[in-house]
Structure 1
Amino acid sequence: MSRAFVQTKQSETEATPSIATPGSAEPGLAGPFSIQVPTEKDPRVRFELERLLSRAREIRPRLRAAQAQTETDGKYGTDIHEFFLEHGFYRMLQPQLFGGLELGVSAFYQVIAEVGRGCPSTAWCLSLSVGHSLTLGSYFDERAQREIFGENGYMICPASGNGRDMSVERVDGGWHVSGFWRYCSGAPYSTHFMATTYIPGERAGDPERRVWMILRRSDYEVLDDWGRVIGMRGSGSNSITATKAFVPDYCVSEEKWTASMSGPTPGSRLHDNPVYAGTFFGFAEGEVASTSVGLGYAAIDEFEKIIMKTRHPWIKDGSIRGDYEEWQRVLGMAISYVDGAQSILVNSSRLFEEYAARSVEGIEPFDESRSLRLNGVYFVVEELVYKAVELMLRNAGSQNTADGAPLQRYFRDILTTRTRTDQFEMFSVNTATAHLKA
């Protein structure tokens, strides 16, 4: 199988990161060695994207070798955390004004997918915590951004809407918040936590308002309660508790930006970048979809390795499965499913950026219909990857469904992705309703 790699033109001012190539013809490295060939037009963004993709390829063997331990520990190792710190993975969506890379949504998804090709659990943990840099950079005021991004030079911030036993108390300058939140992906290495809760209405008799509050690491506890689900066991989706944590008023944002946005936001004004003026639903499920795309390519790599190293079960002349159409067909279908998912993901992320820009410019709002349709498309990405992985597992032989087999782990991971409460079937009615009202 031939492998061609494109080298981009070197900038006159800075060297383009080297594009790594396979060191051998070992099976399991098929397809694009990097998941996505960067097509970003901004030279700065393109340079940083290629650099991060290269670093994600560099660490892929370490991620794969550590997959079983990551599951056992419920999180990726401290060595991976240090690698992410060193190379700026935690600053992908952080505004440049506060020391971030400000890559935008498309580049972010591509890097997450590249990490996911090494370890889906690691990519999930990274994606669902770092993604909230976009939330902070978009909807919170300058004081909150300057303080929070500036505390460590980066932010690792899970969020959760699964609050229980929540209470808030008005105090001088802010709130005391208490509660228990589940599925806080990224909790083990977190610097902050975005807790959804409710505060009283502005006037007597007004309904409660749903808000996001940002808590500092010293004000909450991460529980050791993750890893017992069927898949994504290393995603660091621990529960978080807090008791009378003080949250200043400027670290509270009323949730009015989930599905609809019109005009500039605090972030788009501050950073002069419309990427900080999109809706939450237009972005959030893409964090999971990008992880799924990386998972799909990891499964393809593994399936190729299987069929190129195992003999045909019925023909005794030494033939390998990869020599026969029965397995070539499965590989080809899986590649097409996942390539299609990746193309949809990148196109949708660019639509997010365009919708946000048009909203800021006053051309038309980033409305609920567009937000939910993007949300639905991200679910379709996950469906396509599931089809690919399920197809490969059925055709890989029973030994590859055993505990410890990588392909079994990938199937468990993508199954977990599709068994969350906020799933395609749950949102599809909302998508249709918003479309009919538009």
Structure 2
Amino acid sequence: MTAAGGWPGNIYNVGERHERPRETDMTDKIGQPPAAQAHIPTDAELVRRARDIGPTLLARQAETEALTHYPEDVHEAFRAAGFYKMLMPKKYGGYECDAQTYFQVVREIARNCPSSGWMLSQSINHTLTVASFFSEAAQDEIFASGEFRAPLTAKPEGTAELQPDGGWKISGTFHYNSGAPYSTHMMSHAIPDRMPDGSKPTPMLFVAPRDSYTVLDDWGDVLGLKGSGSNSIRFDDAYIPPHYALPGHTFLSLDPKVAIGRRIHGNAMYAGSTLSFYLLGGANVSTGTARGAVDGYEELLLTKQLPNPPFSRRSEDVDYQRWFGTASGQISTAEAACDAYARQWMDLSERVAWRREEDLRLSGIAREIVNSLCWPAVQTVIRTCGSSTIRNGQRMERVWRDFTQLYSHGWQLLFDVAARDLARERTGAALTDADWSPTFVEGTSGVAQHAA
């Protein structure tokens, strides 16, 4: 039985409690062939579905934090809405939806539950990396079930031992895997014990299927995004085949101009930069979170009185009106910037026009969305909302924690390094051997040996 609009009915049972899946319960139904694609929803339909589910996510934020990930019936509702298929190639039952639409959907989810927005986006963002840079043989196996949900961690952890057949044995614990509880795969980096070509070992990007790792029950002891399912993942001598790894490359270092995804799928979306897409993902969730803060502030304007004469509603006070209008304008600007960013990302991909400078320029836009628009807006509404509205469990208290967690994310390092490197690209200043650059190396690809 489903509710009106095709939603699973129990998604609206706000008071219903759900047991947290343990390690042995976290394996999804994987390996089944994708169902026939009877209908691909329009962009408008996908955004509407995200808006429809928003009030439920808002009402269940405390439950999501207690579970440390969104509940299983929310996961099933996201699946029924088609959110997990948005970036999946049509060849495997996906939608190949427009990048701008994808970001708008995620933004609506984050608006009502930042933890759920972050977990959803980090579960499916990296579909593009596999569809763009991994061989068609690898994609046929990885996308065989018709769904792909894979957290990706940037820091190399654990060990990767080269095997006689060219495959790899992975061991170790990998941290901050947002989306791990409902993952079908995971992606990360490791330093190999030796390289296939005998060169000096450098980081290797790999993807691993769900049956090769254990999701640890260790998330939640953080300030914010407590419900983002950012669990650690452990490998114990897990084998992955040669075509599931790209030795010598990170997910940021692959040149989009040599991506094979465009040839395989006939869609320029699978020939774009990973750095700027990843950073837009974070800026987009930040924008949705900040919009949720402004929503909460508007509700307070309509329901709370001034603490001093004439004790009228806050909505009638010129100062509160100005504070609201300023914060709302900042977030409207951030939303417009996210949408324009997504369009520029697609335009560069369609024109095969990616250069390091363009990647770094877009990264600067993401930086300003987070630091110059969203952060000041959230500070304004928290500074003026009143201490009685930020008690434990209240909306404004939770959004303050969640945005602070976002603001302290490791992308701040990427923002600053990208700003430095943009100046170097523009002025011709050379990188030294000791410098690390976050964007791709032009003219190189880790898929050449797997492209057949």
Please give the TM-score of this superposition, normalised by the length of structure 2.
Answer: 0.82
Q: Which whole-Å deviations, capped at 9, do the CAs of 1:136-192 have from their partners, x for residues lacking one? A: 1111111111111113x2111001123433232324251111121111111011010
Q: How does 1:7-22 map to 2 (within 5 A)?
A: none
Structure 1: gaps (5+ residues): 1-16, 19-44
* Separation in structure 1 between the aligned mates of residue 226 and residue 251 of structure 2, nearest angstrom: 31
**Structure 2 equivalent of residue 12 of structure 1:** none
1:119 to 113, 117, 120: 113
* Separation in structure 2 between the aligned mates of residue 333 and residue 193 of structure 1, nearest angstrom: 41
Q: Tell whether 2:144 aligns with 1:150.
A: yes
Give the match's secondary structure for 1:420: coil
Q: How does 1:255-266 map to 2 (within 5 A)?
A: 255=249, 258-259=252-253, 261=255, 263-266=257-260
- The number of aligned residues is 388
Q: Tell whether 2:368 aligns with 1:380.
A: yes
**Structure 1 equivalent of residue 128 of structure 2:** 134
**Structure 2 equivalent of residue 433 of structure 1:** 424
**Structure 1 equivalent of residue 274 of structure 2:** 280
> Would you say the 8 A contact 1:169–1:177 is kept in 2?
no
* Separation in structure 1 between the aligned mates of residue 226 and residue 256 of structure 2, nearest angstrom: 39
Give the match's secondary structure for 2:237: strand
Pairwise CA distance, 1:415: 1.1
* Separation in structure 1 between the aligned mates of residue 151 and residue 119 of structure 2, nearest angstrom: 9
Q: Which amino acid aligns with 1:429?
A: R
Q: Tell whether 2:419 aligns with 1:419.
A: no
Give the match's secondary structure for 2:175: strand
Q: Which whole-Å deviations, capped at 9, do the CAs of 1:269-323 have from their partners, x for residues lacking one? A: 001111111111121011111111111221111101111101111124x510111
Q: Which amino acid aligns with 1:105?
A: A
Q: Tell whether 2:75 aligns with 1:81.
A: yes
Give the match's secondary structure for 1:281: helix
1:395 to 366, 380, 384: 384
> Would you say the 8 A contact 1:258–1:281 is kept in 2?
yes
Give the match's secondary structure for 2:95: coil
* Separation in structure 2 between the aligned mates of residue 85 and residue 367 of structure 1, nearest angstrom: 36
> Would you say the 8 A contact 2:158–2:170 is kept in 1?
no
- State the Cα RMSD in Å: 2.1
Q: Tell whether 2:43 aligns with 1:56.
A: no
Q: How does 1:105-254 map to 2 (within 5 A)?
A: 105-151=99-145, 153-199=146-192, 200-204=194-198, 206-254=199-247
* Separation in structure 1 between the aligned mates of residue 55 and residue 213 of structure 2, nearest angstrom: 34
**Structure 1 equivalent of residue 440 of structure 2:** none
Q: Which amino acid aligns with 2:290?
A: G
Pairwise CA distance, 1:85: 1.0
* Separation in structure 2 between the aligned mates of residue 46 and residue 333 of structure 1, nearest angstrom: 39
Q: Which whole-Å deviations, capped at 9, do the CAs of 1:381-414 have from their partners, x for residues lacking one? A: 1121111111001111111222112112111111
Aligned in 2, Cα 1:88/1:333: closer, same or farther, shift over 3 Å? same
Q: Which whole-Å deviations, capped at 9, do the CAs of 1:95-129 have from their partners, x for residues lacking one? A: 11110010132111111001111211100000011
Pairwise CA distance, 1:429: 2.1
Q: Which amino acid aligns with 2:325?
A: G
Q: Which amino acid aligns with 2:219?
A: W
* Separation in structure 2 between the aligned mates of residue 413 and residue 433 of structure 1, nearest angstrom: 34
Q: Which amino acid aligns with 1:379?
A: R
Aligned in 2, Cα 1:238/1:106: closer, same or farther, shift over 3 Å? same
Q: How does 1:85-100 map to 2 (within 5 A)?
A: 85-100=79-94
Q: Which amino acid aligns with 1:140?
A: F
* Separation in structure 1 between the aligned mates of residue 40 and residue 144 of structure 2, nearest angstrom: 25
**Structure 2 equivalent of residue 27 of structure 1:** none
% identical equivalent positions: 33
